[in-house]
Amino acid sequence: MISNVPLPESLLTNTGSFTLRRACHNDLSGLVTLLADDTISAGRGDRAASEDTTLYETALEELIADPSNEILVVVDEGDWPVATMQLTRIPGLSRRGSTRLLVEAVRVANNQRSNGLGSAMMKWVIDVAARATGASLVQLTSDAARVDAHRFYERLGFVGSHRGFKFQIEH
């Protein structure tokens, strides 16, 4: 169960301390704003459009209810989301029955970037969340265009050892 992860936690950055906690329904607007606050995501359709609210609401509800998933927010003093990430615990047979922790949708608000918040989040994933969930591998994919983000992950010790493939299903 991913809900074994101890939360909330304080994350220290160059500009102060932030709280990392589980997302709740009230965070929807902050989460959608964070997704849209990124050109690559906006180019894929995450533009915080009001006609998409129901789609996001349904997805957030499903995530909150799913015991294998955790959607987390980092909030400022006003409890407003300034960063987010999604964690998924994936049990597996390979690598002698290794469990993986998948990190997706990592976003830090534009005005908070390069202050060490993203690093503090990923260090928490590696040092706390991976251990608490029994994971021996933390993995993620990142759009090939995100060269700054790749430098960020490599600095933290992630190795770009695999190529990611996606197949878009049209509905």
Interface residues toward ligand COA, by CB under 6 A:
38, 106-108, 113-119, 142, 146, 148-149, 151-152
Output 58 or 141, the one with its CB closest to ligand COA.
141
> Which letter does DSSP use for residue 170 in this model?
P
Output the smallest distance, CB 93 to ligand COA, in A.
Answer: 27
Output the smallest distance, CB 24 to ligand COA, in A.
Answer: 21
How far are the Cα atoms of 9, 20, 51, 93 from residue 120, in angstroms, in the given order? 11, 10, 34, 30
Output the smallest distance, CB 63 to ligand COA, in A.
Answer: 17
Q: Which of 170, 144, 169, 8 is nearest to 160 (CA)?
A: 144
Question: Could you give the residue ranges of the DSSP H alpha helices within the chain?
Answer: 28-36, 39-43, 53-65, 94-97, 117-124, 130-132, 147-155
Output the smallest distance, CB 6 to ligand COA, in A.
Answer: 22
Output 3 or 114, the one with its CB closest to ligand COA.
114
Q: Which of 25, 24, 45, 26 is nearest to 35 (CA)?
A: 45
The amino acid occupying position 8 is P
Output 14 or 29, the one with its CB closest to ligand COA.
14
Output 60 or 125, the one with its CB closest to ligand COA.
125
CA 44 to chain centre: 17
Output 91 or 164, the one with its CB closest to ligand COA.
164
Give the nearest residue (CB) to ligand COA.
Answer: 118
Output the smallest distance, CB 97 to ligand COA, in A.
Answer: 27
